[in-house]
Amino acid sequence: MALKSTIYKVQLQLADMDRGVYGEHALTVALHPSETEERLMVRLLAYAVHVPADDHRGSLEFARGLSDTDEPDLWQHDLSGVLVQWIEVGLPDERRMLRAAARAERATFIAYASSTPVWWAGVKNKLTRTERLSVWQLPAGQSQALAALAKRSMQLQFTVQDGQVWCHAGDTTVELSLVPLLHDA
């Protein structure tokens, strides 16, 4: 018998002073049986730092990700069906990254494993001339601290200012620094 996903309910409050994006989001997120809570929390971080200020070009949604190899972790389609944002977490191969950059107006990848430097050394030269592609690293210690906040029912506050991110859960705060590895302005 196949294992089922575990459902997490998240009340996410966002104050992104860098982008001028503020809001509250009630999210239902599925934890795939092969996924860790660390990966789930990095997906929530990715949502918080990429959610658009309004839905004029569609809303940012959690896609099937691990359950469907043709979908990212998060994506945004405009009302005509154009893929605006493709967002993934983890260490994908360069073919997947190039395909995402070709399909979407903006493709973003957030690497968080301790093996990120080794992975990046193997793919960076194949991506340097790719437009519409951003790659970020979340230091492994920070992603593990973020994972420690995971609960089946969460109230999270994300504050973004001057490129720094703070995630508050109850009386615990985790400071996060997304380090740019490849950034297409």
Task: Give the domain CATH number at 18.
Answer: 3.10.640.10
Give the predicted TM-score (pTM) of the model. Answer: 0.94
Asked if residues 105 and 137 have their Cβ atoms less than 8 Å apart, the reply is no
- How large is the average pLDDT for residues 70-75? 93
| Residue 165 lies inside a defined structural domain of this protein | yes
| Residue 115 lies inside a defined structural domain of this protein | yes
Residue type, 155: Q
User: What are the distances in angstroms from CA 30 to CA 47, 64, 66, 118, 132?
Assistant: 14, 9, 11, 29, 28
| Residue 1 lies inside a defined structural domain of this protein | no
Structural domain count, the chain: 1
| Residue 130 lies inside a defined structural domain of this protein | yes
Give residue 173's domain range. Answer: 6-182
Please write the tens of the pLDDT for every residue from 18-65.
999 999 999 999 999 889 999 999 999 999 999 999 888 999 999 976
| Residue 91 lies inside a defined structural domain of this protein | yes
